[in-house]
Structure 1
Amino acid sequence: MKPDSIILFDRLYLGSLVLGALNFIIGWSAISEKLASSPEFAATGFGSGFIIASFVIGMIINLVIWYFISARASKVAKWILVAFFALGLVSILRNLDNPLGPQGLSLGVTFVLTILQGVAIYMLFRPDAAAWFNGKPPVDPGTFS
């Protein structure tokens, strides 16, 4: 049985993935326009297929990490997620002035996603989640009443 913190992690993390997918789909036209208007990006040989493939691979990686955290109580997956989150924070800060980075509503959604994922990761460090990662079954609160 999963502790409440892991259930909340599931909801927040999966919700952030769904919101991220919607943000990608809704912002696709803006991304396409940026790619078309950026000759330096076109010169690298990466096109819209690369962007879509990167998004799909990223989603698959996120779902695999979620599975190992949520279903397998993997400490390794938890720390991989923490490392990816930290790298994502650095990337967001570095891309704030990048003309190819998210802007406007997409940037706002990116901040919301980051907050959702940060809260989700926080749930992994609460006492009931820590006990679960250590293989200890959660204590039923009804035991003490």
Structure 2
Amino acid sequence: MMRPKSLEWFDRIFYVSMAILLGTGYLNLTGIRDQMMEQHVDDYTALWTAALSLLLNIGVTTLNWYFVSRRGNKIAIVLWIIINLFSVLTLPKLIKVVALSDVPFVAIAPSLLGTFLACASVVMLFQRDAQNWFKAQQGKKDPQ
């Protein structure tokens, strides 16, 4: 069975999300490093800790994407939904923090876009063609 259009869109949304994650992660590395240095962590350790946490985030997200998009694994699908639900639930706090501080609203634009894309990716998983594909993948060892 060919991959459905909704899963192709799921993949595209994932690629855009990863580009945003890489961009914001790179831009935030120095800020994270500076925060760690305020807590008396040396520069080398702070930078590597921030970089490794970004790489770990990318690795876990990509692994979960693989099991959702390529394998149709039910546990991975539920995990994807839960992770993205947390993203949506933290959005009001993020907006409140920005509203009560002097941080420009544009600073959270990537997070807002990421949350929107997370919601869109979950919607793609519930499309009829995706659901049919997931059902067809159950019991198969190596789906296309």
Same fold (TM over 0.5): yes
- Can you give the 5+ residue segments of structure 2 that lack an aligned partner in the other structure? 138-144
Match of 2:114 in 1: 113
Secondary structure, counterpart of 1:11 in structure 2: helix
Match of 2:129 in 1: 128
* Conservation of the 8 A alpha-carbon contact between 1:124 and 1:130: yes
Which residue identity does 2:66 align to in structure 1?
A: Y
Judged with a 3 Å threshold, the aligned counterparts in structure 2 of structure 1 residues 93 and 32 are, in CA distance, closer, same or farther, namely farther
Q: TM-score, normalised by structure 1?
A: 0.75
Match of 1:25 in 2: 26
Which stretches of structure 1, 4 residues or more, deviate above 4 A after TM superposition? Answer: 43-46
State the aligned residue count: 128
Higher relative contact order structure (alpha carbons within 8 Å, sequence separation ≥ 6):
1
Tell me, in whole angstroms, the C-alpha distance in 2 between the residues paired with 1:44 and 1:14.
34
Match of 1:56 in 2: 55
* Conservation of the 8 A alpha-carbon contact between 1:23 and 1:106: no
1:41-76, Cα deviation, whole Å (9 max, x unpaired): x16898333222221111111101111111111121
Secondary structure, counterpart of 2:136 in structure 1: coil
Which residue identity does 1:109 align to in structure 2?
A: P
Secondary structure, counterpart of 1:73 in structure 2: coil
Judged with a 3 Å threshold, the aligned counterparts in structure 2 of structure 1 residues 135 and 117 are, in CA distance, closer, same or farther, namely same
TM-superposed deviation, 1:91: 3.5
Which residue identity does 1:13 align to in structure 2?
A: F
TM-superposed deviation, 1:6: 0.2
Secondary structure, counterpart of 2:72 in structure 1: coil
Tell me, in whole angstroms, the C-alpha distance in 1 between the residues paired with 2:31 and 2:89.
23
Q: TM-score, normalised by structure 2?
A: 0.75
1:17-37, Cα deviation, whole Å (9 max, x unpaired): 11110111133334434444x
Which residue identity does 2:131 align to in structure 1?
A: A
* Conservation of the 8 A alpha-carbon contact between 2:10 and 2:124: yes
* Percentage of identical aligned residues: 20
Which residue identity does 1:72 align to in structure 2?
A: R
Q: Indicate yes or no: 2:76 matched with 1:65.
A: no
Q: How does 1:73-84 map to 2 (within 5 A)?
A: 73-84=72-83
* Conservation of the 8 A alpha-carbon contact between 2:30 and 2:47: no
